[in-house]
Homo-oligomer: A and B are copies of this chain.
Amino acid sequence: MTERREPPQDPEEFAHFTVHSTDQIYDSPWCGLRRDVVVLPDGAHQEYHVIEISNAVAVVPMLPDGRIVMIGQYRYPIGKTHWEVPAGRIADGEDPSVAAERELLEETGHRAGRLVPLPGFYPTNGISAHYAHAYCAYDCERVAELELDAAEQLIVRVFERCEVEALLDAGKIEDAFSAITLMYVLRGASS
């Protein structure tokens, strides 16, 4: 990365919608769905659906030699197995960095020497407040076997940095959490 400079200002905050009413359509430990009726700045009412998903972490595991650990994971909703970085939900009351260390260990069997924050992100901010905290895990070492849920099918593989770049540029990193965090690491955003 080249020299850092001060970023431009955020845009001026627009008037927020106010909530006229809320209808909780569904609730569960996995996700919720509500239908708000919001009051727009012009006074009109409008329905707005909001999906509720607890916040998540994504973590890029890097070995002392700079190689990157990824997992080949089956994702039921899309019916595909592809390369991803470890990621998962944050448990109730869990610190995001602890969740990142836990997912790293469970999904790759690695422990980080040093966990450094990357920019976080809202995967779908038009319909959910779901937020992902992101980290680069430097100086990882393998310390354990995988601890997988019955629903998790995955394999672990170590990639050269240039292989990760080739996967990205070929459009093979289709999981947004992975594409973002890997590109931040390649930019040196966590160094």
Chain A residues numbered 54-102 whose CB sits less than 8 Å from any CB in chain B: 72-83, 87
Q: Is the CB of A175 within 8 A of B121?
A: yes
Alpha-carbon distance A17/B76, docked complex (angstroms):
7
Contacts of A10 in B (CB 8 A): 72, 81-83, 172
Q: Is the CB of B8 within 8 A of A125?
A: no
Q: Which of A44-52, A107-115, A137-145 contacts B (4 or more CB under 8 A)?
A: A44-52
The residue that A155 contacts in the complex, of B11, B28, B183, with Cβ under 8 A, is B11
Residues of A within 8 A of B (CB): 1-2, 4-8, 10-17, 25-26, 28, 30-31, 33, 36, 38, 40-42, 44, 46-51, 53, 72-83, 87, 118-132, 150-151, 153-155, 157, 159, 162-163, 165-176, 179-180, 183-184, 186-187, 189
In the A-B complex, list the 10 residue pairs whose CB atoms are closest, starting with the nearest. A11-B72, A119-B171, A14-B74, A183-B183, A7-B166, A14-B153, A7-B170, A123-B123, A121-B176, A75-B125
